[in-house]
Structure 1
Amino acid sequence: MRILLVEDTADVAEAIVTHLNRIGHTVEWESNGAHASRRLSESYDLLILDVMLPQQDGFSLLQQLRTRGHHTPVLMLTACAEVEERVRALDLGADDYLVKPFDFRELDARIRVLLRRSGGESTNLLHCANLSIDRKSRSATLDGQPIELTRREVTLLEIIAARPGRIFNKDELMDRLFTVDDNPSANSVEQYVARLRKKLAAAAFEIRTLRGLGYQLVLHAPAEPGAGAGTAAHTSPLH
């Protein structure tokens, strides 16, 4: 998922970025509140905001985000454990609050909760036809059998499998899969989609390329009694 981290302590920020990148998230980092303010109009799956920042603090950034009508999940970070500060952040529209120092396992768990809540999920398991994705272990199974996927393949699959039928354009997927430092080429997304198609040949869905539009995960229609192979596909979730 695409995450914006706003944290002015370099060693803390670098540790968070390294950790989250390792488990498959795409993380962009700003150390200055005023600079982060200019990026609030961009699309992120999650914002992690430190409270104490140069030029513009985390509370101000949070208030600015909510005033603009953005519903992006926000996790606040602070070294202060005072109840009043936590209450203020929650009242301004924060979704969760984490006090430094923290264990990365707790950070991961809180991120998973916020991401699945924003996606309407109640557990870490994402199901799409005969595919299951475990957000905690960053793994996937097809008909109960493990699939060998890279962290970026899991992320791409998670993005499109969470929204069957939705069309994702290439630029959006590039933004959510790569950072500027990754220097992705124009066909990077195509390469990852091609790899997924090979690994998901037995899936009860297909990843379609819509020329000029992007990519769409389309579920196969259930076979009718007596019907042969090659049934049509549809875009509504299977139940």
Structure 2
Amino acid sequence: MSNAKDGDAVKIHYTGTLDDGSVFDSSDGRDPLAFELGSGQVIKGFDDAVRGMIVDEEKTVTIAPENAYGVASDENVITVPPDQVPPEMNPSKGDKLQLMAPNGQPIPVTVVDVTDEGVTLDANHELAEWLVKQGMPFRTAHHRVGSLVAWCNDNAKPMNELTLAEMQISVPEAKEECTQLFDPVASVNARDIFGATAPNQVKKQIVYWQAKLDEEAGE
């Protein structure tokens, strides 16, 4: 019986758990996960674990974050103090806004909480947002999307060209509607709040600033 090697098409059943023993993903009740070993279709630690196995072999491995979905970080979630929130904005949970990075790069964010202490913004990917709304823990969603982004980078695949099957390699829970999350036009239109990118919001800003310029020109 031969051992699994790079280039082989393999099918496996698996259960993924966190350090506390809680299950974050499993093929239980589903078809086995099928992929080409060593092709980058799964996280590196998964490839490494399966390489050398034989049919019907079982094993337990611990995969380091750098060989999985990356080290979890809360850097993409920030809380803006109330005095730094424009009074005309009046944000609500679920609103999609846009921040501006120092280099001028727009950063789409989602309002995840509004309290007396400020407005909490999440700048993680929209697919991660979708997974969280389905009930997945934030850290798990962040890891899954990180794996998908890595797969796209390794395979030179633009995210807006992903098929559902390709998306499900890293995010088995993904549904057909998720493929629309990567559509640039849909993403722009979804941010329909003060200062954001939806066309009607842009038009409002144009009208506002044109009026300001006309006012200054008349002084």
TM-score surpassing 0.5? no
TM-score for both structures, normalised by structure 2 = 0.31
Q: Decide which structure has the larger Cα Rg and report it.
A: 2
Write 1 or 2 for the structure with the bigger share of strand.
1
